């Protein structure tokens, strides 16, 4: 029996192994959080599905929670959740690789293939160095953020223990795009605290714009600039991310200016619009109650969360590069061009095919998820709220209109599945289902069909 399992394990594709590793990590995180020692409330009153939900949310760095983290868990529980968010932020393979290196073990070809899949890379070489760079960058960003937040919270409360705990937790949550908080209401109490909003936005951006982008930027700043060229990935990612941020902030500002944001004034409305646009990438933290926003704003934010963050980041969704390829294809098609290009480079046909496969299946998956929850909840919630919840889970954004805790157990399981898929990446999920890829040495005759 064990020989058969071992043989099957060896035949598994890297995508299937990554899926298995994250599944094992969620099981381990759930079992760990099931220990009564991590709770400040009566443990018997906590349902297992809620423990699974929180563990999955922390590992997938989503931020949705059916429990109030601040009042349910104690200090050791907070520490465990912070560790799980960091594990999800850097990736299971990244953490495993670091442990392997610290033990002095050699990283083989099989492990490098899995690193390539987990970090969304297209080549094997440089994977281990990328892992080390990612972990160092994340820790550096978290430390800098924690020091800054500590000073703010200490001046506000005068309580050193409070300031230390909340600063570290917030810095980890923002950097990893974890979205969980110890304020029992996210950052809604800081809707006019621009000195806090700006650094949180910066950390969310650094965690969701893509680790290769940060590494290239670091290399650009540390080398002689005239000999450095940014990759096409960095150019497309940065342009798309920046465009979505600007469009998102402007649209949200316009839609809420005469409604919820009216009392904030122009400056407050602008900063909160920018924060909502940034956090819709996959941040999960929010400065305004989402349920107070206009239904049109919620639908627009659902679209932003569906797009999600950039590849090889802490975020989910279809990813910014996939959305960029869709836009470039529509532009090229409307102009009668046969190739898609950006920044004087043609985009590989394989990437275009992958992008359309991701978009098509993601739309189908989200539609199926929304329909299933609407059916199971039997009209208890508006379709807009359910769509918001599903896209939030799929994009690992963690925003909610407030229905998370009220969902039935079956609906929570569906949301957990979406968070899981959002974290491992949709390409990995598709290839996990398909198994190993096979190439054929033959082709069928080509024939046209009518479309449109």
- Residue 98 CA to residue 111 CA, distance in Å, equals 12
The torsion defined by the Cα of 304, 309, 310 and 315, in degrees rounded to 10, comes to -160
Lowest mean pLDDT among 65-69, 90-94, 234-238, 430-434: 430-434
If one counts the domains in the chain, the total is 1
Does the pLDDT at position 388 exceed 90?
A: yes
355 located within any domain: yes
**Residue bearing the bigger pLDDT, 73 or 444:** 73
- Which residues touch 446 (CB under 8 Å, ≥6 apart)? none
pLDDT, residue 436, reads 55
- Residue 271 CA to residue 187 CA, distance in Å, equals 13
pLDDT, residue 429, reads 73
Residue that is written with structure tokens 């705990």 in the block: 165
47 located within any domain: yes
Lowest mean pLDDT among 135-144, 220-229, 389-398: 220-229
Lowest mean pLDDT among 69-73, 345-349, 374-378: 345-349
**Residue bearing the bigger pLDDT, 243 or 434:** 243
Q: How far is CA 274 from CA 29, 184, 198, 213, 318, in A?
A: 33, 22, 9, 21, 21
**Residue bearing the bigger pLDDT, 171 or 98:** 171
Which token pair is 323? 């959305």
Does the pLDDT at position 363 exceed 60?
A: yes
pLDDT, residue 262, reads 86
pLDDT, residue 259, reads 87
Lowest mean pLDDT among 52-61, 222-231, 378-387: 222-231
- Residue 57 CA to residue 396 CA, distance in Å, equals 8
CB-side exposure of 391: number of CA atoms within 13 Å?
25
CB-side exposure of 404: number of CA atoms within 13 Å?
27
For residues 223-235, give the mean pLDDT.
Answer: 77
SS3 per residue for the chain: CHHHHHHHHHHCCHHHHHHHHHHHHHHHHHHHHCCHHHECCCHHHCCHHHHHHHHHHHHCCCCCCCCCHHHHECHHHHHHHHHHHHHHHHCHHHHHHHHHHHCCCCCCHHHHHHHHHHCCCCCCCCHHHHHHHHHHHHHHHHHHHHHHHHHHHHHHHCCHHHHHHHHHHHHHHHHCCCCCCCCCCCCHHHCCCHHHHHHHHHHHHHHHCCHHHHHHHHHHHHCCHHHCCCCHHHHHHHHHHHHHHHHHHHHHHHHHCCCHHHHHHHHHHHHHHHHHHHHCCCCCCCCCCHHHCCHHHHHHHHHHHHHCCCCCCCCCCCCHHHHHHHHHHHHHHHCCCCCCEECCEECCHHHHHHHHHHHHHHHHHHHHHHHHHHHHHCCCCCHHHHHHHHHHHHCCCCCCCCCHHHCCHHHHHHHHHHHHHHHHCHHHHHHHHHCCCCCCCCCCCCCCCCCC
319 located within any domain: yes
**What does pTM read for this prediction?**
0.89
170 located within any domain: yes
443 located within any domain: no
pLDDT, residue 8, reads 52
pLDDT, residue 137, reads 87
For residues 195-213, give the mean pLDDT.
Answer: 91
pLDDT, residue 368, reads 95
Question: What band does 40 get if pLDDT is binned at 50, 70 and 90?
Answer: confident
Which token pair is 403? 């229905």
- Residue 254 CA to residue 266 CA, distance in Å, equals 11
**Residue bearing the bigger pLDDT, 110 or 57:** 57
Q: Give strand pairing partners of 346.
A: 341
For residue 352, what are the domain limits? 7-434
pLDDT, residue 13, reads 66
Is residue 65 within 8 Å of residue 54, measured between CB atoms? yes
Q: What is the pLDDT of residues 420-452, one digit of tens each?
A: 888 887 777 776 666 555 555 667 777 767 666
Percent of the chain with pLDDT over 70: 83
Q: What is the pLDDT of residues 2-25, one digit of tens each?
A: 465 555 545 566 667 777 888 888
2 located within any domain: no
448 located within any domain: no
For residues 143-168, give the mean pLDDT.
Answer: 95
Does the pLDDT at position 202 exceed 70?
A: yes
pLDDT, residue 383, reads 94
pLDDT, residue 306, reads 95
pLDDT, residue 253, reads 95
For residues 35-40, give the mean pLDDT.
Answer: 90
Q: How far is CA 383 from CA 107, 252, 371, 380, in A?
A: 48, 20, 9, 9
Give me the chain's average pLDDT, please: 85
Question: What band does 372 get if pLDDT is binned at 50, 70 and 90?
Answer: very high
Q: What is the pLDDT of residues 93-136, one digit of tens each?
A: 666 666 666 666 666 666 666 666 555 555 665 666 777 888 88
For residues 333-353, give the mean pLDDT.
Answer: 85
315 located within any domain: yes
Q: What is the pLDDT of residues 249-268, one digit of tens each?
A: 999 999 998 888 988 889 99
**Residue bearing the bigger pLDDT, 442 or 68:** 68
Residue 346 phi/psi, 5-degree rounding, is -80, 140
pLDDT, residue 16, reads 74
């Amino acid at each position: 029996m064990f020989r058969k399992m071992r043989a099957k394990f060896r035949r598994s594709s890297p995508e299937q192994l990554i899926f298995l590793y994250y599944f094992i990590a969620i099981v381990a995180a759930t079992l760990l959080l099931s220990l009564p020692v991590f709770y400040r409330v009566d443990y018997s009153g906590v349902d297992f599905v809620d423990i699974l939900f929180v563990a999955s949310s922390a590992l997938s760095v989503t931020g949705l929670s059916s429990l109030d983290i601040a009042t349910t868990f104690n200090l050791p529980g907070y520490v465990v959740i912070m560790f799980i968010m960091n594990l999800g932020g850097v990736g299971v393979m990244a953490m495993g690789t670091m442990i392997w290196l610290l033990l002095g073990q050699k990283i083989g070809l099989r492990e490098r293939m899995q690193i390539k899949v987990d970090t969304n890379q297209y080549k094997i070489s440089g994977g281990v160095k990328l892992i080390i760079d990612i972990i160092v960058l994340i820790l550096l960003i978290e430390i800098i953020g924690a020091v800054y937040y500590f000073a703010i919270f200490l001046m506000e409360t005068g309580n050193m223990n409070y300031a230390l705990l909340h600063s570290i937790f917030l810095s980890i949550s923002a950097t990893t795009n974890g979205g969980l908080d110890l304020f029992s209401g996210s950052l809604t109490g800081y809707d006019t605290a621009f000195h806090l909003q700006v650094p949180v936005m910066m950390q969310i951006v650094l965690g969701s714009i893509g680790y290769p982008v940060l590494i290239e930027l670091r290399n650009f700043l540390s080398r002689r600039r005239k000999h450095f060229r940014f990759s096409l990935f960095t150019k497309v990612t940065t342009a798309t991310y920046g465009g979505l941020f600007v469009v998102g902030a402007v649209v949200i500002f316009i839609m809420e200016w005469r409604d919820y944001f009216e009392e904030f004034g122009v400056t407050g409305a602008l900063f909160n619009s920018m924060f909502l646009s940034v956090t819709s990438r996959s941040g999960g933290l929010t400065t305004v109650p989402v349920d107070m926003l206009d239904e049109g704003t919620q639908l627009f934010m659902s679209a932003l969360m569906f797009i999600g963050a950039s590849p090889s980041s802490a975020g989910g969704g279809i990813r910014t590069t996939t959305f960029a390829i869709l836009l470039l294809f529509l532009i090229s098609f409307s102009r009668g061009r046969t190739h898609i290009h950006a920044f004087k480079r043609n985009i590989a046909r394989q990437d275009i095919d992958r992008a359309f496969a991701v978009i098509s299946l993601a739309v189908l998956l989200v539609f199926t998820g929304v329909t299933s929850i609407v059916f199971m909840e039997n009209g208890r919630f508006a379709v807009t709220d359910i769509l918001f919840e599903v896209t939030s889970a799929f994009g690992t954004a963690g925003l909610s209109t407030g229905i998370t805790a009220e969902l039935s157990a079956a609906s929570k399981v569906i949301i957990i599945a979406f968070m899981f898929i959002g974290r491992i990446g949709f390409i990995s999920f598709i290839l996990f289902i398909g198994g190993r890829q096979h190439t054929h040495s033959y082709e069928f005759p080509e024939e046209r069909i009518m479309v449109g």
